[in-house]
Amino acid sequence: MKVNKPVNRLIGDLPKIGIRPVIDGRRKGVRESLETTTMNMAKSLARLLESSLRHSNGLPVECVIADRCIGGVAEAAMAAEKFRKEGVGVSISVTPCWCYGSETMDMDPTTPKAIWGFNGTERPGAVYLAAASAAHTQKGLPVFTIYGRDVQDTGTTEIPADVREKLLRFAKAGLAVATMKGKSYLSVGAVSMGIAGSIVDQPFFEDYLGLRVESVDMTELVRRLEEKIYDEEEFKRAYGWVRQNCPEGKDYNKHKRSRKQKDVEWECVVKCAIIMRDLMVGNPRLARMGFGEEAMGHNAILAGFQGQRHWTDHFPNGDFFEAMLNSSFDWNGVREPFLLATENDSLNGVCMLLGHLLTDTAQIFADVRTYWSPEAVKRVTGRSLSGVAAPGLIHLINSGAAALDGCGRQSRDGQPALKPFWEITPREAQACLETTTWSPAIYEYFRGGGFSSTYGTRANMPATMFRMNLVKGQGPVLQIAEGQIVDLNPEIYTQLEKRTNPTWPTHWFAPNLGGDGAFRDVYSVMNAWGANHGAVSYGHIGADLITLASLLRIPVCMHNVTPAQVFRPSAWTGFGVADLESADFRACTNFGPLYGKV
């Protein structure tokens, strides 16, 4: 299996990070003494960002430094024009000294922006930082302010660890915002079984995320299947690969279907995987076949498939193509996942998108299915939970869009992990495939048949579960729960899994607990969850999600991130510092959605 080279498969150049060296504009001695130091500060930041970050598609992040230091409005305009031509989507101003606050600031209302003020005693970088922060807040242009804890010597190019952390957190979140802008959410189908998240709210996507919504009926898949609007050569190659690498699992149905019928279903789901991908990003091969319109795709960075029940009562379910597209590999090799939300749950899909843009990894889509108390586990299995699972567990399981990466067969530094596709070895991808079987769908649920990915996350891994919900009168709110995916004792695992559906991918989640709120115990986390689905990312990314949510003006209503890690625009302090959660709501309401006032 080959590892594909990074590629930008969406329309539009990748956003760049603009670096603005800001300087004291007074000539005849002051400015001249600071030119080299200020520009070196910008170059040092560019080296950090370009060496530490990649886009989620694996391509390198590029920085653009203003041609000259910015000492006033004319040079600010020069920088803005250069950034416009270069495709800058994120702005970071740097300075070691006092500068003219509102005269030098970045005035673009939708560009994520931050200021790093050097902590030195020779020149008052902190004074400019505070003055510029006040100007941004007064003008309604929230800015992140970054100031090192320890005093440094003027001229040093070293970036302290605490400053590095904030610069990288802001930059990655800012790139996520800029990457989404102008792309599409592709809604294939409509509302699935009355699930609120599949009631696609177009103003939310447009005003908060900068995404447009494209809607395609599921009959488009039927048309492309029947009229063979797909690459038949790729299908033959894909089908052979699937039959070799996707072994059929145990059939739990009482009334089993014939081998011939199952083979027909396999052909259908493989073709649908190709068709769904083509709907998202297009396929030049279709143009050569005479299907120029279909070849264009919908420039979709994210999609959702309704499936149930209008499709699955008659056709094979979407479990196979949802799982394969969300994974980091298929018959074309190791590549960036195609994000596809099962049941067209657009809000959970958004969480998958945010998680992918922040971590560069595949995401797990799951039902937040069951809270298992220690007492219930003991009663059912005769065994006790231990370790981080001792307070209880949340069972995450769903038939559809859990990436195969989630089985825990990739590793970093000897520990189970989910990795960006460019770090995944062919052996790791193959191990994920070998761990997964594809059981025939339970026909009581899926009358049209199909195949569900059957695997369990048999590894202990740090993880973050999160969910976007819409509240009438308030707008979107985000929930975040950091914790651990737990590899249970096999005797416990098997007995608990059989009580739900042994054909579906399953994960056992133990949230980190503490305090008196929703995280006082596992039951309270489950009870406070705002919807039936959740997205799961590898690692503890709650702080990154909080930063990104503040850029989008989406308040976080529930999280277990330590206060010291919370990083939001400086304007948020104007709405209170004793209760950061409430202040977040007030700030987001005050400033409004990022694109809602454009």
Which of 180, 214, 231 delimits the end of a domain? Answer: 180
Q: What proportion of the chain, given as a percentage, has pLDDT over 90? A: 91
Q: How far apart are CA 517 and CA 527, in angstroms?
A: 12
Q: Which domain holds residue 254?
A: 184-591
Residue 2 lies in a domain: no
> Tens of pLDDT along 368-391?
999 999 999 999 999 999 999 999
Please state the three-class secondary structure of 384-427 as a single string: CCCHHHCCCEEEEECCCCCCHHHHCCEEECCEEECCCHHHCCHH
Asked if residue 584 has pLDDT above 50, the reply is: yes
Residue 6 lies in a domain: no
Residues 325 and 382 reside in one and the same domain? yes
Asked if residue 585 has pLDDT above 90, the reply is: yes
The active-site residue, picked from 367, 405, 428, 544, is 367
Residues 193 and 233 reside in one and the same domain? yes
Q: Give yes or no: 367 in active site.
A: yes
Task: Among 99-103, 281-285, 417-421, name the one with the lowest average pLDDT.
Answer: 99-103
The active-site residue, picked from 231, 294, 343, 544, is 343
Asked if residue 415 has pLDDT above 50, the reply is: yes
Using pLDDT thresholds of 50, 70 and 90, give the confidence band for residue 118.
Answer: confident
Residue 7 lies in a domain: no
Residue 597 lies in a domain: no
Q: How far apart are CA 497 and CA 394, in angstroms?
A: 12
Distance of CA 214 to the CA centre of its chain: 20
Asked if residue 125 has pLDDT above 80, the reply is: no
**What is the mean pLDDT of the segment spanning 253-257?**
95
User: What is the pLDDT at residue 126?
Assistant: 81
Cβ atoms 482, 211 nearer than 8 A: no
> Tens of pLDDT along 496-525?
988 888 889 999 999 999 988 999 999 999
Residue 10 lies in a domain: no
User: What is the pLDDT at residue 598?
Assistant: 43
CATH number at residue 101: 3.40.50.1070
For residue 32, the surrounding DSSP H or E stretch is: helix 30-52
Q: Give yes or no: 201 in active site.
A: no
Which of 132, 157, 180 delimits the end of a domain? Answer: 180
> Tens of pLDDT along 58-92?
999 999 999 999 999 999 999 999 999 999 999 99
What radius of gyration, in Å, describes the C-alpha atoms of the chain? 25
Of residues 154 and 259, which shows the higher confidence score?
A: 259
Domain count, the chain: 2
**What is the mean pLDDT of the segment spanning 427-438?**
97
Which of 155, 180, 205 delimits the end of a domain? Answer: 180
**What is the mean pLDDT of the segment spanning 192-200?**
96
Of residues 157 and 184, which shows the higher confidence score?
A: 184
User: What is the pLDDT at residue 597?
Assistant: 60
